[in-house]
A and B are shown apart, each in its own frame.
Chain A
Amino acid sequence: MSLTLNANDMAKLKNMLNDSEAMFGEVHNFKPEHVVFACTCQGNCDGRTSGCSWG
Protein backbone atom coordinates (compact mmCIF):
# COMPACT_ATOMS: atom_id res chain seq x y z
CA MET A 1 0.00 0.00 0.00
CA SER A 2 1.33 3.41 -0.95
CA LEU A 3 2.37 5.74 1.84
CA THR A 4 1.14 8.79 -0.02
CA LEU A 5 -2.35 10.01 -0.69
CA ASN A 6 -3.43 10.23 -4.31
CA ALA A 7 -5.03 13.37 -5.70
CA ASN A 8 -8.54 12.14 -4.98
CA ASP A 9 -7.74 11.33 -1.37
CA MET A 10 -6.02 14.66 -0.92
CA ALA A 11 -9.06 16.47 -2.30
CA LYS A 12 -11.32 14.44 -0.01
CA LEU A 13 -9.18 15.34 2.99
CA LYS A 14 -9.20 19.03 2.12
CA ASN A 15 -13.00 18.94 1.87
CA MET A 16 -13.20 17.27 5.25
CA LEU A 17 -10.98 20.00 6.65
CA ASN A 18 -13.18 22.71 5.11
CA ASP A 19 -16.26 21.11 6.65
CA SER A 20 -14.54 20.97 10.01
CA GLU A 21 -13.54 24.62 9.83
CA ALA A 22 -17.11 25.57 8.94
CA MET A 23 -18.42 23.61 11.90
CA PHE A 24 -15.86 24.39 14.60
CA GLY A 25 -13.98 27.45 13.32
CA GLU A 26 -10.33 27.29 12.37
CA VAL A 27 -7.99 25.63 14.84
CA HIS A 28 -4.29 26.23 14.27
CA ASN A 29 -2.56 25.93 17.61
CA PHE A 30 -2.10 23.03 19.91
CA LYS A 31 -0.94 22.73 23.49
CA PRO A 32 -1.05 19.30 25.07
CA GLU A 33 -2.48 18.91 28.55
CA HIS A 34 0.66 17.21 29.81
CA VAL A 35 4.34 17.69 29.15
CA VAL A 36 5.18 15.89 25.96
CA PHE A 37 8.58 14.64 24.96
CA ALA A 38 9.67 13.97 21.42
CA CYS A 39 11.79 11.00 22.36
CA THR A 40 11.85 7.58 20.80
CA CYS A 41 8.91 6.53 22.90
CA GLN A 42 7.15 9.91 23.21
CA GLY A 43 6.76 9.70 26.92
CA ASN A 44 6.22 6.01 27.39
CA CYS A 45 9.57 6.07 29.12
CA ASP A 46 8.06 7.65 32.16
CA GLY A 47 4.97 5.48 32.25
CA ARG A 48 4.53 2.15 33.90
CA THR A 49 5.84 0.12 31.06
CA SER A 50 9.46 0.81 31.94
CA GLY A 51 12.59 1.96 30.27
CA CYS A 52 13.09 3.72 27.02
CA SER A 53 13.16 2.01 23.68
CA TRP A 54 16.83 1.27 24.22
CA GLY A 55 16.11 -1.22 26.91
Chain B
Amino acid sequence: MEEYREYKTLMLILTENCNLNCVYCYEHHKTLDDMPFETAKKAIDSEFQDLDQYEHGEIELFGGEPFLNFPLVKRIYDYVMETYGKDNDIVFSTTTNGTLVHGEIQDWLRERKDNFIVTLSLDGTPEMHNANRPLLGGQGSFEKIDLDFFRECWDRCCAKMTFSNKNIGNFADGVIYVDQLGFEPLATFASGMNWEGAETRKQLTEQMQKLVAYYVSNPDKKLCQMLNMNLALMFYPVDDDFRYCGAGLRKKCFDIQGNWYPCQGLSPLTVGKEAAKQFCNRDFFDFRLSQDNPCRNCRWVRLCRTCYAANYLETGCIERNCRDMCFINRLCMLACSKIKFERLLRKKELSKDDQLEMRAIIQIQQSVLDDPM
Protein backbone atom coordinates (compact mmCIF):
# COMPACT_ATOMS: atom_id res chain seq x y z
CA MET B 1 0.00 0.00 0.00
CA GLU B 2 2.79 2.41 -0.93
CA GLU B 3 0.29 5.06 -1.98
CA TYR B 4 -0.80 5.56 1.60
CA ARG B 5 2.66 6.25 2.95
CA GLU B 6 3.06 9.94 2.22
CA TYR B 7 2.34 10.83 5.81
CA LYS B 8 1.15 9.39 9.04
CA THR B 9 -1.65 10.93 11.04
CA LEU B 10 -2.20 10.24 14.67
CA MET B 11 -5.24 11.61 16.43
CA LEU B 12 -5.27 11.89 20.20
CA ILE B 13 -8.51 12.51 22.05
CA LEU B 14 -7.06 14.62 24.84
CA THR B 15 -10.25 15.01 26.76
CA GLU B 16 -13.82 13.78 26.71
CA ASN B 17 -14.92 16.98 28.34
CA CYS B 18 -16.38 20.03 26.63
CA ASN B 19 -17.62 23.43 27.75
CA LEU B 20 -20.23 23.63 25.00
CA ASN B 21 -23.51 21.83 24.45
CA CYS B 22 -23.90 21.87 20.67
CA VAL B 23 -27.28 20.75 19.39
CA TYR B 24 -25.84 18.35 16.83
CA CYS B 25 -22.94 16.97 18.85
CA TYR B 26 -22.23 13.39 17.84
CA GLU B 27 -20.12 12.69 20.91
CA HIS B 28 -22.90 11.16 22.96
CA HIS B 29 -20.70 9.64 25.66
CA LYS B 30 -18.75 12.58 27.00
CA THR B 31 -17.16 12.40 30.45
CA LEU B 32 -15.00 14.74 32.50
CA ASP B 33 -11.94 12.56 31.91
CA ASP B 34 -8.68 13.47 30.16
CA MET B 35 -5.94 11.41 28.54
CA PRO B 36 -2.95 10.93 30.88
CA PHE B 37 0.32 12.20 29.38
CA GLU B 38 1.91 8.74 29.64
CA THR B 39 -0.91 7.32 27.51
CA ALA B 40 -0.33 9.98 24.87
CA LYS B 41 3.42 9.35 24.95
CA LYS B 42 2.95 5.61 24.49
CA ALA B 43 0.63 6.14 21.50
CA ILE B 44 3.01 8.62 19.90
CA ASP B 45 6.04 6.38 20.38
CA SER B 46 4.29 3.35 18.97
CA GLU B 47 3.09 5.22 15.89
CA PHE B 48 6.15 7.32 15.19
CA GLN B 49 8.76 4.58 15.50
CA ASP B 50 8.84 4.29 11.68
CA LEU B 51 8.24 7.96 10.96
CA ASP B 52 11.39 8.16 8.85
CA GLN B 53 9.55 6.15 6.19
CA TYR B 54 7.00 8.94 5.73
CA GLU B 55 7.22 12.41 4.30
CA HIS B 56 5.82 13.89 7.46
CA GLY B 57 3.87 13.14 10.57
CA GLU B 58 0.75 14.85 11.75
CA ILE B 59 -0.76 14.86 15.20
CA GLU B 60 -4.35 15.95 15.62
CA LEU B 61 -5.30 16.98 19.11
CA PHE B 62 -8.97 16.42 19.56
CA GLY B 63 -11.69 16.52 22.18
CA GLY B 64 -14.15 17.39 23.60
CA GLU B 65 -12.53 20.76 23.70
CA PRO B 66 -8.74 20.23 23.61
CA PHE B 67 -7.89 23.56 25.26
CA LEU B 68 -9.70 22.53 28.42
CA ASN B 69 -6.41 20.74 29.09
CA PHE B 70 -3.90 23.26 27.81
CA PRO B 71 -1.06 21.90 30.01
CA LEU B 72 -1.43 18.55 28.25
CA VAL B 73 -1.40 20.22 24.81
CA LYS B 74 1.87 21.96 25.70
CA ARG B 75 3.46 18.86 27.19
CA ILE B 76 2.64 16.70 24.16
CA TYR B 77 3.88 19.36 21.75
CA ASP B 78 7.17 19.74 23.60
CA TYR B 79 7.70 16.01 23.85
CA VAL B 80 7.04 15.38 20.15
CA MET B 81 9.17 18.25 18.93
CA GLU B 82 12.08 17.27 21.17
CA THR B 83 11.87 13.58 20.36
CA TYR B 84 10.85 13.57 16.70
CA GLY B 85 10.92 17.15 15.46
CA LYS B 86 14.66 17.39 14.85
CA ASP B 87 14.69 14.81 12.06
CA ASN B 88 11.13 14.91 10.84
CA ASP B 89 8.56 17.33 9.50
CA ILE B 90 5.85 17.41 12.15
CA VAL B 91 2.55 19.20 11.88
CA PHE B 92 0.12 19.63 14.74
CA SER B 93 -3.50 20.41 14.21
CA THR B 94 -6.53 20.85 16.34
CA THR B 95 -10.16 21.79 16.14
CA THR B 96 -11.40 24.14 18.81
CA ASN B 97 -14.57 25.93 19.72
CA GLY B 98 -12.38 28.99 20.29
CA THR B 99 -13.97 30.08 23.54
CA LEU B 100 -10.87 29.36 25.64
CA VAL B 101 -8.32 30.69 23.15
CA HIS B 102 -7.28 33.89 24.86
CA GLY B 103 -4.31 35.27 26.78
CA GLU B 104 -1.63 32.66 27.43
CA ILE B 105 -3.08 30.19 24.93
CA GLN B 106 -3.02 32.82 22.18
CA ASP B 107 0.59 33.74 22.99
CA TRP B 108 1.62 30.09 22.88
CA LEU B 109 -0.18 29.40 19.59
CA ARG B 110 1.11 32.55 17.94
CA GLU B 111 4.68 31.38 18.48
CA ARG B 112 3.93 28.00 16.93
CA LYS B 113 1.47 28.91 14.21
CA ASP B 114 3.69 27.60 11.41
CA ASN B 115 3.41 24.00 12.51
CA PHE B 116 0.33 24.17 14.69
CA ILE B 117 -2.74 24.56 12.51
CA VAL B 118 -5.95 25.47 14.23
CA THR B 119 -9.40 24.99 12.79
CA LEU B 120 -12.22 26.93 14.37
CA SER B 121 -15.72 25.60 14.70
CA LEU B 122 -17.88 28.49 13.52
CA ASP B 123 -21.42 27.96 12.33
CA GLY B 124 -22.15 31.20 10.50
CA THR B 125 -23.66 34.44 11.68
CA PRO B 126 -23.75 35.09 15.45
CA GLU B 127 -27.42 34.08 15.54
CA MET B 128 -26.80 30.86 13.63
CA HIS B 129 -23.75 30.03 15.70
CA ASN B 130 -25.43 30.67 19.03
CA ALA B 131 -28.50 28.63 18.07
CA ASN B 132 -26.24 25.63 17.42
CA ARG B 133 -23.41 26.10 19.86
CA PRO B 134 -24.45 27.29 23.33
CA LEU B 135 -22.20 27.14 26.36
CA LEU B 136 -23.13 24.56 29.00
CA GLY B 137 -25.04 27.31 30.79
CA GLY B 138 -27.11 28.00 27.71
CA GLN B 139 -25.63 31.35 26.66
CA GLY B 140 -24.33 31.80 23.14
CA SER B 141 -20.64 31.12 22.55
CA PHE B 142 -20.02 33.38 19.53
CA GLU B 143 -19.07 36.41 21.64
CA LYS B 144 -16.44 34.33 23.49
CA ILE B 145 -14.39 33.84 20.33
CA ASP B 146 -11.60 36.22 19.36
CA LEU B 147 -12.04 35.99 15.60
CA ASP B 148 -9.25 38.48 14.93
CA PHE B 149 -6.72 36.21 16.57
CA PHE B 150 -7.55 33.29 14.25
CA ARG B 151 -7.52 35.51 11.17
CA GLU B 152 -4.19 37.07 12.10
CA CYS B 153 -2.43 33.79 12.79
CA TRP B 154 -3.61 31.60 9.92
CA ASP B 155 -4.23 32.79 6.41
CA ARG B 156 -7.82 31.85 5.50
CA CYS B 157 -8.14 29.91 8.76
CA CYS B 158 -10.48 26.97 8.27
CA ALA B 159 -13.91 27.36 9.81
CA LYS B 160 -15.80 24.13 10.31
CA MET B 161 -19.42 24.98 9.78
CA THR B 162 -22.14 22.55 10.64
CA PHE B 163 -25.73 23.11 9.67
CA SER B 164 -28.51 21.79 11.80
CA ASN B 165 -32.24 21.93 11.20
CA LYS B 166 -32.19 25.02 13.43
CA ASN B 167 -30.43 27.11 10.80
CA ILE B 168 -31.19 25.38 7.54
CA GLY B 169 -33.26 28.34 6.39
CA ASN B 170 -30.21 30.58 6.13
CA PHE B 171 -27.19 28.35 5.65
CA ALA B 172 -26.14 30.25 2.53
CA ASP B 173 -26.03 33.47 4.55
CA GLY B 174 -23.80 31.66 7.03
CA VAL B 175 -21.34 30.48 4.39
CA ILE B 176 -21.18 33.91 2.78
CA TYR B 177 -20.74 35.58 6.18
CA VAL B 178 -17.87 33.28 7.18
CA ASP B 179 -16.25 33.58 3.75
CA GLN B 180 -16.39 37.37 3.91
CA LEU B 181 -14.98 37.34 7.44
CA GLY B 182 -11.86 35.86 5.86
CA PHE B 183 -12.23 32.24 6.90
CA GLU B 184 -12.26 29.15 4.69
CA PRO B 185 -15.76 27.67 5.09
CA LEU B 186 -15.72 23.90 5.55
CA ALA B 187 -19.46 23.56 5.48
CA THR B 188 -21.30 20.36 6.11
CA PHE B 189 -24.72 19.14 7.17
CA ALA B 190 -25.08 17.52 10.57
CA SER B 191 -25.67 13.82 10.62
CA GLY B 192 -28.35 12.45 12.88
CA MET B 193 -30.78 15.21 11.89
CA ASN B 194 -34.06 14.74 10.10
CA TRP B 195 -33.60 16.20 6.63
CA GLU B 196 -36.84 14.70 5.34
CA GLY B 197 -39.90 16.61 4.22
CA ALA B 198 -40.96 18.88 1.39
CA GLU B 199 -40.46 22.11 3.37
CA THR B 200 -36.91 21.15 4.39
CA ARG B 201 -36.03 20.29 0.82
CA LYS B 202 -37.52 23.53 -0.41
CA GLN B 203 -35.42 25.50 2.06
CA LEU B 204 -32.29 23.56 1.18
CA THR B 205 -32.85 24.18 -2.51
CA GLU B 206 -33.50 27.90 -2.07
CA GLN B 207 -30.41 28.33 0.04
CA MET B 208 -28.32 26.40 -2.46
CA GLN B 209 -29.57 28.70 -5.21
CA LYS B 210 -28.40 31.67 -3.17
CA LEU B 211 -25.00 30.11 -2.68
CA VAL B 212 -24.67 29.37 -6.39
CA ALA B 213 -25.50 33.00 -7.21
CA TYR B 214 -22.75 34.12 -4.79
CA TYR B 215 -20.09 31.93 -6.35
CA VAL B 216 -21.16 32.76 -9.89
CA SER B 217 -20.91 36.47 -9.20
CA ASN B 218 -17.55 35.92 -7.47
CA PRO B 219 -15.87 33.68 -10.03
CA ASP B 220 -12.41 33.80 -8.46
CA LYS B 221 -13.54 32.63 -5.06
CA LYS B 222 -12.62 29.13 -4.00
CA LEU B 223 -15.77 27.09 -3.55
CA CYS B 224 -16.73 26.13 -0.04
CA GLN B 225 -15.97 22.56 0.83
CA MET B 226 -19.38 21.05 0.18
CA LEU B 227 -19.42 22.46 -3.37
CA ASN B 228 -15.78 21.99 -4.17
CA MET B 229 -15.97 18.76 -6.13
CA ASN B 230 -13.79 17.28 -8.82
CA LEU B 231 -16.64 16.26 -11.09
CA ALA B 232 -14.34 14.19 -13.30
CA LEU B 233 -14.19 11.67 -10.46
CA MET B 234 -17.51 10.28 -11.60
CA PHE B 235 -15.60 8.69 -14.47
CA TYR B 236 -13.26 6.87 -12.09
CA PRO B 237 -14.78 3.43 -11.53
CA VAL B 238 -15.29 1.95 -8.08
CA ASP B 239 -12.66 -0.73 -7.51
CA ASP B 240 -11.05 -2.51 -4.60
CA ASP B 241 -9.21 0.65 -3.60
CA PHE B 242 -12.47 2.48 -2.98
CA ARG B 243 -12.75 3.90 0.52
CA TYR B 244 -14.98 6.48 2.09
CA CYS B 245 -12.06 8.30 3.69
CA GLY B 246 -8.61 7.86 5.17
CA ALA B 247 -9.84 6.58 8.54
CA GLY B 248 -7.86 3.54 9.64
CA LEU B 249 -5.60 3.76 6.63
CA ARG B 250 -3.79 7.02 7.12
CA LYS B 251 -5.16 7.81 10.51
CA LYS B 252 -5.50 6.15 13.87
CA CYS B 253 -7.46 7.75 16.66
CA PHE B 254 -6.39 7.03 20.24
CA ASP B 255 -8.97 7.48 22.97
CA ILE B 256 -8.15 8.58 26.50
CA GLN B 257 -7.51 4.94 27.51
CA GLY B 258 -4.89 4.55 24.77
CA ASN B 259 -6.95 2.22 22.59
CA TRP B 260 -7.05 3.04 18.92
CA TYR B 261 -9.94 3.29 16.47
CA PRO B 262 -10.18 4.25 12.79
CA CYS B 263 -11.48 7.69 13.71
CA GLN B 264 -13.09 9.61 16.54
CA GLY B 265 -16.53 8.91 15.11
CA LEU B 266 -16.13 5.21 15.89
CA SER B 267 -14.53 5.65 19.31
CA PRO B 268 -16.25 5.12 22.70
CA LEU B 269 -16.72 8.87 23.00
CA THR B 270 -19.10 8.74 20.04
CA VAL B 271 -20.66 5.29 19.93
CA GLY B 272 -20.18 4.15 23.53
CA LYS B 273 -17.82 1.57 25.02
CA GLU B 274 -19.74 -1.55 24.00
CA ALA B 275 -20.34 -0.55 20.39
CA ALA B 276 -16.79 0.73 20.01
CA LYS B 277 -15.29 -2.70 20.79
CA GLN B 278 -15.97 -3.86 17.23
CA PHE B 279 -13.90 -0.96 15.88
CA CYS B 280 -11.01 -1.17 18.33
CA ASN B 281 -7.68 -1.89 16.56
CA ARG B 282 -9.48 -2.04 13.24
CA ASP B 283 -7.98 -0.56 10.13
CA PHE B 284 -10.06 -0.41 6.97
CA PHE B 285 -7.59 -2.09 4.63
CA ASP B 286 -10.09 -4.89 4.13
CA PHE B 287 -13.05 -2.59 3.56
CA ARG B 288 -15.08 -3.36 0.44
CA LEU B 289 -18.47 -2.17 -0.67
CA SER B 290 -20.79 -5.17 -0.57
CA GLN B 291 -22.18 -6.43 -3.83
CA ASP B 292 -25.70 -5.67 -2.64
CA ASN B 293 -24.92 -2.13 -1.52
CA PRO B 294 -27.06 0.12 -3.74
CA CYS B 295 -24.32 2.74 -3.67
CA ARG B 296 -21.95 0.36 -5.46
CA ASN B 297 -23.64 0.84 -8.80
CA CYS B 298 -24.59 4.45 -8.28
CA ARG B 299 -22.84 6.61 -10.86
CA TRP B 300 -22.38 9.37 -8.28
CA VAL B 301 -20.67 7.25 -5.66
CA ARG B 302 -17.25 8.85 -6.19
CA LEU B 303 -18.75 12.29 -5.65
CA CYS B 304 -20.98 11.36 -2.75
CA ARG B 305 -19.81 12.64 0.63
CA THR B 306 -19.99 9.63 2.85
CA CYS B 307 -18.64 8.86 6.29
CA TYR B 308 -18.25 5.43 7.93
CA ALA B 309 -19.13 6.81 11.36
CA ALA B 310 -22.15 8.83 10.23
CA ASN B 311 -23.38 5.74 8.41
CA TYR B 312 -22.94 3.62 11.53
CA LEU B 313 -24.81 6.07 13.71
CA GLU B 314 -27.62 6.42 11.21
CA THR B 315 -28.02 2.93 9.82
CA GLY B 316 -26.01 0.66 12.15
CA CYS B 317 -23.69 -0.27 9.28
CA ILE B 318 -20.51 1.57 8.29
CA GLU B 319 -21.07 1.13 4.56
CA ARG B 320 -24.78 1.97 4.40
CA ASN B 321 -25.43 5.58 3.64
CA CYS B 322 -28.30 7.42 5.26
CA ARG B 323 -30.81 7.92 2.46
CA ASP B 324 -31.59 11.49 3.51
CA MET B 325 -28.07 12.39 2.51
CA CYS B 326 -28.71 11.28 -1.08
CA PHE B 327 -30.85 14.34 -1.62
CA ILE B 328 -28.29 16.67 -0.06
CA ASN B 329 -25.42 15.11 -1.97
CA ARG B 330 -27.29 15.36 -5.27
CA LEU B 331 -28.18 18.95 -4.50
CA CYS B 332 -24.50 19.75 -3.89
CA MET B 333 -23.51 18.03 -7.16
CA LEU B 334 -26.16 19.95 -9.07
CA ALA B 335 -25.08 23.26 -7.54
CA CYS B 336 -21.44 22.48 -8.24
CA SER B 337 -22.24 21.59 -11.85
CA LYS B 338 -24.03 24.91 -12.36
CA ILE B 339 -21.16 26.94 -10.93
CA LYS B 340 -18.59 24.99 -12.94
CA PHE B 341 -20.59 25.59 -16.11
CA GLU B 342 -20.66 29.33 -15.48
CA ARG B 343 -16.93 29.32 -14.77
CA LEU B 344 -16.16 27.29 -17.90
CA LEU B 345 -17.93 29.95 -19.95
CA ARG B 346 -15.48 32.52 -18.62
CA LYS B 347 -12.39 30.55 -19.54
CA LYS B 348 -10.55 31.89 -22.56
CA GLU B 349 -9.16 28.52 -23.51
CA LEU B 350 -10.46 25.10 -22.59
CA SER B 351 -8.05 22.28 -21.82
CA LYS B 352 -8.29 18.55 -22.34
CA ASP B 353 -9.09 18.16 -18.64
CA ASP B 354 -12.12 20.41 -19.01
CA GLN B 355 -13.70 17.87 -21.33
CA LEU B 356 -14.45 15.40 -18.56
CA GLU B 357 -15.87 18.19 -16.45
CA MET B 358 -18.19 19.19 -19.29
CA ARG B 359 -19.25 15.59 -19.72
CA ALA B 360 -19.96 15.35 -15.98
CA ILE B 361 -21.97 18.58 -15.95
CA ILE B 362 -24.14 17.31 -18.79
CA GLN B 363 -24.76 14.00 -17.02
CA ILE B 364 -25.58 15.62 -13.69
CA GLN B 365 -27.92 18.14 -15.28
CA GLN B 366 -29.53 15.48 -17.45
CA SER B 367 -30.12 13.27 -14.40
CA VAL B 368 -32.27 15.96 -12.83
CA LEU B 369 -34.42 16.09 -15.95
CA ASP B 370 -34.72 12.28 -16.00
CA ASP B 371 -35.26 11.91 -12.25
CA PRO B 372 -36.43 15.21 -10.70
CA MET B 373 -35.26 15.81 -7.17
Contact = CB atoms under 8 A, between A and B. Distances in A.
Given A3-B212, A37-B243, A48-B58, A54 B307 contact: yes
Given A4-B334, A20-B355, A48-B93, A42 B309 contact: no
A54 B306 contact: no
A50 B160 CA distance: 10
A13 B225 contact: no
Given A3-B338, A13-B341, A51-B95, A38 B305 contact: yes
Contact of A32 (B26, B60, B233): B233
Contacts of A31: 236
Interface string A28-53: 11111011111111111110111111
Interface string B202-220: 0001001110110010000
B263 A52 contact: yes
A24 B43 CA distance: 52
Q: How large is the interface on B (under 10, 10 to 19, 20 to 34, 35 or more residues)?
A: 35 or more
Contact of A50 (B95, B233, B305): B95
Interface in B283-332: 301-307, 309-310, 331
Decide if the interface of chain A is mainly helix, strand, loop or mixed.
loop
Contacts of B127: none
Contacts of A14: 362
Contacts, number: 177
A55 B303 CA distance: 21
A51 B93 contact: yes
B361 A20 contact: no
A22 to B, nearest CB: 11
Nearest to A51: B95
A28 B236 CA distance: 9
Contact of B359 (A17, A19, A38): A17
B188 to A, nearest CB: 4
A16 B340 CA distance: 13
Interface of B: 3-4, 7, 9, 11, 26, 58, 60, 62, 91, 93-95, 117-119, 121, 158, 160, 162, 184, 186, 188, 205, 208-210, 212-213, 216, 225, 228-230, 232-233, 235-236, 241-247, 250-251, 263-265, 301-307, 309-310, 331, 334-335, 338, 341, 344-345, 350, 352, 354-356, 358-359, 361-362, 365, 368-369
A16 to B, nearest CB: 6
Contacts of A29: 235-236
Nearest to A26: B355
Given A30-B235, A37-B246, A46 B251 contact: yes
Given A39-B305, A51-B60, A51-B93, A17 B186 contact: no
B305 A46 contact: no
A55 B140 CA distance: 19
B216 A1 contact: yes
A30 B365 contact: no
14 contacts: A1-B212, A13-B361, A17-B358, A27-B356, A29-B235, A36-B230, A38-B244, A41-B225, A42-B229, A42-B230, A45-B251, A51-B93, A53-B186, A54-B309
A20 B355 CA distance: 6
Contacts of A16: 344, 350, 358
A51 to B, nearest CB: 5
Given A2-B209, A4-B338, A30-B236, A44 B358 contact: no
B236 A39 contact: no
B89 to A, nearest CB: 10
Given A1-B216, A35-B4, A52 B236 contact: no
A55 B122 CA distance: 11
Contacts of B7: 46
A53 B188 contact: yes
Nearest to B56: A48
